[in-house]
Structure 1
Amino acid sequence: MSWHAIDALDDARSATTGLLLPFDLGTWLRLALLAVFVGAGASSVSVNVNAGGAVTPGLPGAPFEFPFRDLSLPTPETLPDVRTLAFGVAAAVAVLLALAFWVVSAVMEFVLVTGLVDPPVRIRAPFRAQFGNGLRLWAFEACVGLLALLVVGVPAALVVLGGVAVGPGLLLALLPILLVGVAVAFLVALLVRLATDFVVPAMLAEDCGVLDGWRRVLSTVRAEWEEIALYLLVRLTLSALVGALVAAGTLFLAVLVALPFAVLGGAVLVAFSALGGLSLLAWTLLAVVGACYLLAVAAASALLLVPAVAFFRYYSLFLLGRVDEGLDLVDATRATDGDADRGDGGVGTGGPPAR
C-alpha cells in the first residue's frame, strides 16, 4: 500500500529544488523575508533583551542631572514617575508591535502559498490581495488563543486568589490545571498546524473564508485521517531534525560573524576609555553595534530557513492535493502520474506549475 504522506515527500523535494535552483538571489531574499514571519514550523530564533536596568551616562556612580532646570525637564524627585510612564509606554509599544507582527505573519502565510504555487515568489502584490484572508486567519488564531487562555487562566486565577497558602497545597491544587494546560497547548498547536498547512490552501482553492475553509478541510481529515496522522508524525520528526540543524548552523554563523562586531565594539570601548570614560555617545554606539550584530545573525538564520520553509509548505500542498483533488493547488495528481514516466518522483516541470 502506498502512503500519500510518504510519496508527497519526494514531490516536495523535487518542487523545492526546482524553485531554489538555479540560485536566484531575489527568490532567496524574498523567501528569507517570508521565513522571518512564517518560519518553517521547525525552529524559531528569538532574541530576548532585558532592559531591567538603567544606564547612567558619565562615570560610574555619578548622578544624572540635566543642566537646564528652566525647561521643565524631570527632576530627581519626579524621575521615578517618569520611569513608570516610560515603562508603560514601552510595554504598550511592544504589545502593538507584537500584534502587528502577528497580523503580518498571518497574511504572509497566504503570500507564501501563492508564491510557491505560482512562482516567481512576490511579496507586495500578493500581500495586498491576501490581506483580508490574513485578517480572517489571524482572528481565528486570536480566538483560539483567547479561549485557551480562559480555559487555563481562569481556574489558575481562582486557585491562586482563593486563599490557598503558598506551599505544597497550592502546587497540588495547580497540578490538574497544569495537566489541562499541557493538553490545551497541544490542541492549540494542532489547530494552528492544520490551519496553516491545510486551511490556508483550502481558502485559496475555494475562495472562501476561514470557517468555510475549516469545514472543507475537516471533511477531508475525516475521510483521510490515517494520511493526515502520518503526515503530522512525519512532519514533527522532520521538523525536529531540521530545527536542530538550523540551530547548529545559526550558532556557527553567530560565532563566525561575531569577530568583526567584537573588534568594532572593542575599538569603541578603547577609544572612549582613553577619553575619560564611557559617555552616553559611547553607550549609543555600542548599542548600535550590538543591534547590527543581532540583525546580521537573524538575516543569516532566515537564509538558512529558506529550503525548510519551501519544503515543508510544498509537503503539505502535495499531500492535500493527493488526498483531495478539489484542493490541489500544485497538480499533485499530475506529479503522481508522472512518476512512472520520469522515475524521479518530481514535479513535471521541475517546479510548481503556474495557475
Structure 2
Amino acid sequence: MPWYAVEALDDAFDATKALLTPFDARQWLALAFVVFFLGNTGAGGTSAGAGGSSGTASDGPRVGPGGPPGQMGWEGDLPFAFGELLPIIAGVVAVAIVVGLLYALVGSVMEFVFVESLRRQRVRIRRYADQHFGQALGLFAFRVVLGLVVALPALGLLLGGLSLATGGPSVALGAVVLLVPLLVLAGLVVALVDGLTVNFVVPVMILKDVGILDGWRRFWPTLTGQWRQYAVYVLVRFGLSLVVGSLASVVGGVVGAVLFAPFAALGVVSLPALGGPGAILSNPVALALGIALLLGYLALLTAVLAAVFVPVQTYLRYHALLVLGDTDGNFDLIPELRGDVRETR
C-alpha cells in the first residue's frame, strides 16, 4: 500500500517550484505578509542580554569581599518598589493579550488566504479575506477554545508555583505535580487538533463552503477511514518539522544577530543618557519605550523570517493538500496542479 505522505514529498517540491518560479518579487512579498500572520514559520531567534552593577551606597548587607560569611545572593536597595511595577506589569500583560488575540484573528483569516493563494496560484489578499471572513471568525473562535485548554492548566500551574514560593499550603505541591503532565498532554492534543484543522479542515471548508464544525464533520470520516495514512502523515510532518526547526535555528540566529546590531548600538548610546538601568526601571515612560523597542525588534525579526521561509511554508502546505486529495478525491483543491506535477515524473 502506498503511503501518500511519503509519495507527496517530491510532488510538493514541484508544486512549490511551479508557484514561486519565475521569481516575482510582488507575489513573494504578498506571501511573506500572509506567512507573517500564520505564526508557524518554525523560526527560532536568539536573545542577548547584558548585565551591569552600580556602586551606590546601601545600609543592607552585601555579598562579596567584606560581606557576611556564608551568605549567598545579593541584598541591597532597589531603585524601585516592586509594588510600583505591578500596574505596569498588568498593563503590559493586558496589551499583550489584546495584541495576541488580534494577531490570532488576522492569522485565522490568513489561513484561508494562504490556501486560496496556493489553490489558485495567485495571491489576492483582500479578495480572499473578504470571501472567507465569516469562516475565519469560526476558526478563530475554535482556536481560542483550544487555547483555553492549555491556558487553564498553565494558569493553575502558575498559581500553584506562586503558592509554593510564598509558603502556601502543601496541597499546592500536589497540584503542581498533577498539572505538569496534564499541561504536556493538553499541549500535544491541542497542537495535533490545530494542525489537522489548518492543514485539512480549512481546505474542506473552502471547497465545500461550510463552517468549522461542518468542516470537521465532513473531514472526520476521511480521517478515521484513512487513519493509517494520517498517522504516517503526522510522523512525516514531525520529521519535516525537525529539519525546518534546525534550519530555522541557524537562519534565525544569523538574521537575529544582524538585526540586533542596530538595536544594540541604540541601546548602548541611549543607556547612559537615560541614567543607566536603574533609572530606566524606575521610570515608567523609559520602561515602556524599552519594551516597545524590544517588541519592534521581534516584529522586524518575524517579518524578515517570514519572507525567508515563504518556500518552506508553501512546501508544507502543498504537501498537506496533496495528502488530503489522495485520501479523498472529493476534497482535492488542486486537481490540475496535481496532474501537472505528476505528469512530469
TM-score range, shorter chain: 0.7 to 0.9
The answer to whether 1:328 aligns with 2:332 is yes
Segment of structure 1 superposing worse, 235-244 or 37-46: 37-46
Give per-residue Cα distances to partners, 1:122-163, cap 9 Å, x unaligned.
21221122211111001111123324545676699799989x
State the Cα distance separating 1:292 from its structure 2 match: 6.1
Q: 1:259 to 1:172 in 2, by over 3 A?
A: closer
Which ranges of structure 2 fall in alignment gaps of 5 or more residues? 50-55, 58-80
Structure 2 Cα separation of the partners of residues 154 and 83 of structure 1: 23
State the Cα distance separating 1:229 from its structure 2 match: 0.5
Q: 1:47 to 1:321 in 2, by over 3 A?
A: farther
Identity of aligned residues (%): 33
Structure 2 Cα separation of the partners of residues 226 and 44 of structure 1: 32
Structure 1 Cα separation of the partners of residues 89 and 156 of structure 2: 27
Pairing of 1:53-202 with structure 2 (within 5 A): 85-150=87-152, 170-172=172-174, 174-202=176-204
Aligned twin of 1:29? 29
Aligned twin of 1:15? 15
Which ranges of structure 1 fall in alignment gaps of 5 or more residues? 50-59, 62-78, 344-355
Q: 1:42 to 1:231 in 2, by over 3 A?
A: farther
The answer to whether 1:256 aligns with 2:258 is yes
State the Cα distance separating 1:225 from its structure 2 match: 0.6
Residue 8 of structure 2 aligns to which amino acid in structure 1? A
State the Cα distance separating 1:39 from its structure 2 match: 3.6
Q: 1:282 to 1:136 in 2, by over 3 A?
A: closer
State the Cα distance separating 1:293 from its structure 2 match: 5.1
Helix, strand or coil: the match of 2:334? coil
Structure 2 Cα separation of the partners of residues 48 and 292 of structure 1: 15
State the Cα distance separating 1:291 from its structure 2 match: 6.5
Helix, strand or coil: the match of 1:23? coil
Structure 2 Cα separation of the partners of residues 18 and 215 of structure 1: 32
Helix, strand or coil: the match of 2:236? helix
Q: 1:148 to 1:15 in 2, by over 3 A?
A: same
Give per-residue Cα distances to partners, 1:76-110, cap 9 Å, x unaligned.
xxx99986555544433322111111111111111
Residue 303 of structure 1 aligns to which amino acid in structure 2? A
Give per-residue Cα distances to partners, 1:205-247, cap 9 Å, x unaligned.
1111111100111110111111101011101111111111012
Paired positions, count: 308
Helix, strand or coil: the match of 1:247? helix
Q: Is the 8 A contact 1:269 1:282 kept in 2?
A: no
Aligned twin of 1:234? 236
Q: 1:205 to 1:154 in 2, by over 3 A?
A: same
Structure 2 Cα separation of the partners of residues 89 and 233 of structure 1: 42
State the Cα distance separating 1:186 from its structure 2 match: 1.0
Q: Is the 8 A contact 1:43 1:239 kept in 2?
A: no
Q: Is the 8 A contact 2:260 2:297 kept in 1?
A: yes
Segment of structure 1 superposing worse, 309-318 or 82-91: 82-91
Structure 2 Cα separation of the partners of residues 156 and 297 of structure 1: 29
Segment of structure 1 superposing worse, 180-189 or 322-331: 180-189
Match of 1:204 among 203, 206, 212: 206
Q: 1:288 to 1:41 in 2, by over 3 A?
A: closer
Structure 2 Cα separation of the partners of residues 43 and 8 of structure 1: 24
Residue 218 of structure 1 aligns to which amino acid in structure 2? W
Q: 1:217 to 1:287 in 2, by over 3 A?
A: closer
The answer to whether 1:38 aligns with 2:41 is no
Aligned twin of 1:224? 226
Structure 2 Cα separation of the partners of residues 268 and 178 of structure 1: 42
Structure 2 Cα separation of the partners of residues 120 and 130 of structure 1: 16
Q: 1:287 to 1:219 in 2, by over 3 A?
A: closer
Structure 2 Cα separation of the partners of residues 8 and 128 of structure 1: 31
Structure 2 Cα separation of the partners of residues 80 and 288 of structure 1: 21
Residue 144 of structure 1 aligns to which amino acid in structure 2? L
Q: 1:91 to 1:26 in 2, by over 3 A?
A: same
